[in-house]
Chain A
Amino acid sequence: MEFLALVWTFFKIGVISFGGGWTVVGLIKAETVPRWIDEAGFSSLLAIAQATPGPVALNAATMVGWRTFGLPGAIAATLAVIAFPLLAITGAGVIGKRLRLDPIALKTALKTGTLAMMAMTLYYLLPAPPFDPILLGIGLVSFVLVAFTKVNPLLVILGAGAVKTVIEALQMHV
């Protein structure tokens, strides 16, 4: 039953994933934490998903699947998350001809939806107490770097990992 629940969860996530992977990350968290993965596990999963090739939502599905049911879970969750997008592309020709939609209005509606989903993602990812001042600082610095400079986000992720490793190593020796 848990296996089916996992597949159904990622299928639903696939249906909503307009506008790229990050919009659904908040939803993935709402659906999977703490049922299949804990808070700390989820945040390192996201860092790994972002730092490795491939869309974030897809990578997150693979990892949550792996954590819960090993290789079969990883395969099932990955296929579940892409199922609807692929069906939509295959079926688009047929539906598109029957329904005459106004493309500009549709695009604007999807943009609003995407922004709201992105805000939901941010809401779910904001750090909760007890706060670790170093981690909070890392979050703020990475926001400024990525929002207002052209630094590659991958470098920010790896750099933050290195900084935290060094700080902890120093703390252990003091």
Chain B
Amino acid sequence: MFFGISSLTIGGGYAMVPVIGSALERRGWTTEEEFYELFAVAQSFPGPLALTTAAIAGKNLAGPRGAAAGVAGVILPPFGIIVAVAALLGRFGEEPHLRAFLAGAGATVPGLVAAMLVKLAKGRKWTWVRALETLGLFLALILVPRASLPLFLGGVVILYLLERRWNS
């Protein structure tokens, strides 16, 4: 089982979730509906989606040992690859072609993040209150990045209370 999940991690991040889903179904571990339910639960936890999905799927299937196996499966392959890449960079990082390649690749990142932001923003129902809340939290976060943990957690609690009051 450990290897079953571990081999799936090639594909990366968000793209991984549907892959996990179909692999679990193929092995008869979950049905499609069960998986979507599990995925919805995974989304409401902090942590990378692939990680939380694997942990919850593992836990449901085989208890704590399953969760541990799922987590190990998700973490270990990228860990190995990153360490290998980082070690290689340490050795060849000054090579001019490689530097140019990394600079070009790195330049896409703000574009990718902006694209994700657009998709996230498109995917929700906007109201004046929500727009103001988002803007307010964003400003607070960039003004005091050091306090981002209490700001975010406190912010979510306040937003939760506001949401219950006005929208339900």
List the interface of chain A (C-beta within 8 A of B). 12, 14-22, 25-27, 30-31, 40, 43-44, 46-59, 62-63, 66-67, 71, 74, 78, 82, 84-86, 88-90, 92, 101-127, 132, 134-136, 138-147, 153-154, 156-158, 160-165, 167-169
Contacts and interface: CB of A to CB of B under 8 A. Distances in A.
B91 interface: no
B61 interface: no
A88 B119 CA distance: 28
Interface residues of B, number: 84
B9 to A, nearest CB: 5
B164 interface: yes
Given A66-B86, A139-B109, 9 more contacts: A43-B103, A48-B85, A54-B50, A63-B86, A88-B47, A109-B156, A109-B157, A112-B159, A157-B108
A82 B48 CA distance: 9
B130 interface: yes
A78 B135 CA distance: 31
B96 interface: yes
A81 to B, nearest CB: 8
B160 A59 contact: no
Residues of B contacting A: mostly:
helix
Contacts of B64: 90
A110 B10 CA distance: 28
Contacts of A15: 46, 149, 153
Nearest to B42: A89
Nearest to B12: A53
A110 B156 CA distance: 6
Given A112-B137, A147-B114, A160-B107, A54 B13 contact: yes
Contacts of A139: 107-111
A105 B164 contact: yes
A61 B146 CA distance: 18
A143 B85 CA distance: 26
Interface string B106-138: 111111111111111100100000100111011
Interface in B36-75: 43-52, 55-56, 59, 64, 67, 71, 74-75
